[in-house]
Structure 1
Amino acid sequence: EFMEALRDRTVKIDIPYITKLNEEVKIYEKDYNSHKIRGKHIAPHTLEMAAMWCVLTRLEEPKKHNLTLLQKLKLYNGKTLPGFTEDNIKELRKEANREGMEGISPRYVQDKISNALVSDKGEGCVNPFMVLNELESGLRHHSLISSEEVRKRDRELLSVVKGEYEDIVKNEVQRAISADEDAIAKLCGNYIDNIKAYTQREKVRNKYTGQYEEPDERLMRAIEEKIDIPESRKDDFRREIMNYIGALAIEGKTFNYRTNERLHKALELKLFEDQKDSIKLKNLVSSVVDKDTQEKIDIVKDRMIKSYGYCEICSTDVLNFVASIFARGDAKD
């Protein structure tokens, strides 16, 4: 036998694939970055979504805890979820002792990213959908997929990843639209004035009429509902904010909404709700956009380019994509 002596001294050891998203992303970032790829921009989240799908194919469905596979991936990647501790994560890994031994290899993903890069579809920019479509089309002829059942599961996981990407870009567009610091500060000031009056059982002076009015319950609830503060807990939340402001005042400090993550998020969501119609995001899918709307859209695009790493092409594509979601009425309030 050929090389019998060598084979007699060789032991096969199976090494599992990576099951942590951030580590998988690093594999692709090493080869597909702005230093190595010239002439084409890789849109934000493109490598991340490819890596996410790849890792998902390697994970076993959670047996307990009422978890989705995507949530399991996020836990493995260090994200905290309510009710889950480090011990729970260790238990998840323990119950799936062959996890990572099967699934899609990085080589397959690298081949498909390369295909997307040399494609003439991107007009100078490769986006996640181009890569995900390449990944899906290649499944038909993937020699290492053992059964049609596995092939079907891998396709379904592509849909999971597309749904996650949709949520990510909706959030980014939302943040870009509501990134007007002055507008957030003004909204915050209005909210604080109202909850102060509410908690102290006072009235609020209308700056326009000069009249004293009851606190604006509608405004307060519109903000609080954005972070799921129920009616039964609104008083506690308002007192919590006022106590925090009071504690800062004792220390000679001024309240800044950025220091309260929940309130900051609520203000952003409320501002987005108020501004999305003025920007006429739904009308982006129309070929006719008035000058005022176009100026606002350009400001949002500029924020996406500066803050999130988009280029002129993919920022336009993402805005159109998110606009189409709003046009369908699928966007989350």
Structure 2
Amino acid sequence: INRLSSALIRTSTKCINALDALRSLKDGLDQHPSITKEEKERLLNFISVARQEYDEIAKKEIQKAFVYSYEESAKVLFDNYLDNIEAYCNSTKLKDPITDEEVSPDEKLMRSIEEQIGVSENAKKSFREEILLRLSSYARKGRKFDYTSHERLREAVEKKLFADLKDVVKITTSTKTPDAEQLKRINGVSAKLISEYDYCPVCANELLKYVGSLLNR
């Protein structure tokens, strides 16, 4: 509590986030002469682990917010995946939208999505069949099946899209002079963080900048 208070009373601080708390905890260790060297190292290790976990959480939060701003792209990726797994499971061909020729299911596309959530080569067939069964179940009940209807598939689509957009995210979050399009994306992501994930405007902006620095490492 004392360390959080110390973080709050810093000049120009409007609010504190997880990084502020971790930094303050780390700085506070030097102010306790009674802590042994071994104990200090142990506590520093805990702080380091917490920082690593926070980094992953921060990237996931930005990932979700960015994917939301590219929701149409997520839908297209999802539809392509569904078309391909349906052809794969039914041992049929797909029609190329440009040449109108019959083509085999795009294994590279399917695996690029499935690998995002650790679906192995041996498990891919059962995973694809599971998705089609869920799709069929939704259809029978008159419900719409989209990429958010299956938790693991949603995660896979978001991770794949985020991986594809990584350079865009990196540039957008780290640029000091964003152009009109980048500014639009930043504002959209910030608005999503505020409305859906309960960030305040200050913390949303700090998170964007921090994740930008992480992606540039």
Does residue 157 of structure 2 align to residue 267 of structure 1? yes
Q: Paired residue for 2:64?
A: 175
Q: Paired residue for 1:241?
A: 131
In structure 2, do the counterparts of structure 1 residues 249 and 287 end up closer, same or farther at CA, with 3 Å as the change threshold?
Answer: closer
Counterpart-to-counterpart distance in 2, 1:134 and 1:237: 46
TM-superposed deviation, 1:249: 3.3
Counterpart-to-counterpart distance in 1, 2:42 and 2:80: 50
- 5+ unaligned residues in a row in structure 2: which ranges? none
Secondary structure, counterpart of 1:257 in structure 2: coil
Q: Number of paired residues? A: 216
Amino acid paired to 1:161: A
- 5+ unaligned residues in a row in structure 1: which ranges? 1-109, 329-333
Equivalent residue in structure 2 for 1:227, among 107, 110, 117: 117
Q: Paired residue for 2:77?
A: 187
TM-score by length of 2: 0.89
TM-superposed deviation, 1:266: 0.5
User: Is 1:115–1:134's contact at 8 Å kept on the other side of the alignment?
Assistant: yes
Q: Paired residue for 1:133?
A: 23
- Per residue, is there more helix in 1 or in 2? 2
Higher RCO, 1 vs 2 (CA within 8 Å, ≥6 residues apart):
2
Does residue 3 of structure 2 align to residue 116 of structure 1? no
Amino acid paired to 2:148: R
Counterpart-to-counterpart distance in 1, 2:17 and 2:3: 13
User: What per-residue deviation string (whole Å, max 9, x for no partner) do you get for residues 238-290 of structure 1?
Assistant: 1221223233334444433323111111011112122333x342453342332
User: Is 2:172–2:182's contact at 8 Å kept on the other side of the alignment?
Assistant: no
TM-superposed deviation, 1:197: 0.8
Amino acid paired to 2:97: K
Q: Paired residue for 2:92?
A: 202
Does residue 203 of structure 2 align to residue 311 of structure 1? no
Amino acid paired to 2:155: K
Secondary structure, counterpart of 2:123 in structure 1: helix
CA RMSD of aligned residues (A): 2.1
In structure 2, do the counterparts of structure 1 residues 264 and 144 end up closer, same or farther at CA, with 3 Å as the change threshold?
Answer: same
Secondary structure, counterpart of 2:122 in structure 1: helix
User: Is 2:172–2:186's contact at 8 Å kept on the other side of the alignment?
Assistant: no
Does residue 182 of structure 2 align to residue 293 of structure 1? yes
Identity %: 35
TM-score by length of 1: 0.60
User: Is 1:282–1:326's contact at 8 Å kept on the other side of the alignment?
Assistant: no
User: Is 1:282–1:324's contact at 8 Å kept on the other side of the alignment?
Assistant: no
